[in-house]
Amino acid sequence: MSRFTADSWKQAAGDVEVVHNGVDTDQWTEGPGGHRLIWFGRLVPEKGAHHAIAAAREAGMPLVLAGPISDHTYFRERIEPHLGGSVRYLGHLMTDDLVDAVGTSAVALVTPQWDEPYGLVVAEALACGTPVVAYSRGGIPEILTPDCGRLVPADDVAALSVAIGEAKQLARQHARARAVNHCSERRMVDRYVALYDEICSAPIQSDTHPAAPAATTRRAS
């Protein structure tokens, strides 16, 4: 969950505490980095992998894509024609292989075409020590900080390309630290426990509404 999502539902749910989703930082481990870019996620129009391809080309860096082809028409028309040379599709990887691919990349690109409720791939990339360049949409700005990535205006491929050069200079240990301290499952569980403790220790408020006398004598029909 994110503050963005909570605010979107505030009219119906009221003002609620936010506990961000967590990733397993024991599984998503820090990698050494590399000289290429990575984009990973479902290959569908709303995830915007075609923007990552355009930005990588503009930045003059190789790019690998990983994830399931959930929209075959989109893949055939918007992704496949650009494969070859500096752009490769690694397939739908098992988690350990994906962790290795992310950890051996210089920067992860996150290019949603919609307002992501949270942005789990951002947390996963940071856990691998890989800085992130992302469109500033939905809950993503709540995850990224200037020492572990860059936010750019939505759908601005030119800005995405420029930010790649900045992000690849960032220290990988800062990205990893952000994931461990803010995006880990342990952090998530600790926040839930603290919230439950707060709820349990709060004084019980008695019902101030007068009881209806007839309610105790009314018979069930």
CB of 144 closer than 8 Å to CB of 74:
no
What's residue 58's pLDDT? 97
Q: How many CB atoms lie within 10 A of CB 221?
A: 3
Tell whether the torsion through CA atoms of 69, 75, 76 and 80 is positive or negative: negative
pLDDT in tens, 35-59: 999 999 999 999 999 999 999 999 9
Residue 207 confidence (pLDDT): 56
64 φ/ψ angles, rounded to the nearest 5 degrees: -115, 145
* Residue scoring higher pLDDT (104 or 188): 104
Place of tokens 């918007």: 78
Taken in order of first residue, the domains within the chain and their CATH numbers are 28-185 (3.40.50.2000)
Nearest to 63 by CA among 107, 123, 98, 30: 107
Tens-digit pLDDT profile for residues 150-163: 999 999 999 999 99
Q: What is the pLDDT of residue 17?
A: 64
Q: Who contacts 197 (Cβ-Cβ below 8 Å, separation ≥6)?
A: none
133 confidence band (pLDDT: 50, 70, 90) = very high
Least confident of 11-15, 19-23, 89-93: 11-15
Quote the pLDDT of residue 214. 42
Three-state SS at 72: helix
The per-residue pLDDT for 18 is 58
